[in-house]
């Protein structure tokens, strides 16, 4: 599965869709500004909420769940990738959360 860096995600977040696949209590701790929250268990049912014409970057806590999410979306016809290191790496880089 293609993986991009935190820095690249920060640049691309203005044009790509960021999908945070963590659970509600995890997202409550902060997410990438503008991210769409769809827990991994709901992704199949809610994929229709995403724009198929725009690339998708999936995010989770450490990168494992988001890799599965990106694979799922890619199989459904989306241009999907995952952010390596997840929100742990995002926080470590000192990037903003909402």
- Kindly give the residue spans of alpha helices, DSSP state H, lying in 2-96: 6-12, 24-27, 43-46, 64-75, 86-92
Query: Which amino acids are annotated catalytic?
Result: 60
Angle at 95 between CA 93 and CA 96, to 5 degrees: 155
């Amino acid at each position: 599965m293609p993986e991009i860096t935190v820095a690249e995600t920060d640049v691309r977040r203005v044009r790509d869709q960021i999908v945070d696949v963590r659970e509600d209590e995890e997202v409550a701790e902060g997410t990438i500004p503008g991210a769409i929250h769809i827990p991994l268990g709901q992704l199949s049912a809610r994929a229709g909420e995403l724009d198929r014409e725009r690339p998708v970057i999936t995010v989770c806590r450490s990168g494992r769940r988001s890799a599965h999410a990106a694979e799922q979306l890619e199989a459904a016809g989306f241009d999907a990738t995952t952010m390596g290191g997840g929100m742990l790496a995002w926080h470590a880089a000192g990037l903003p959360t909402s």
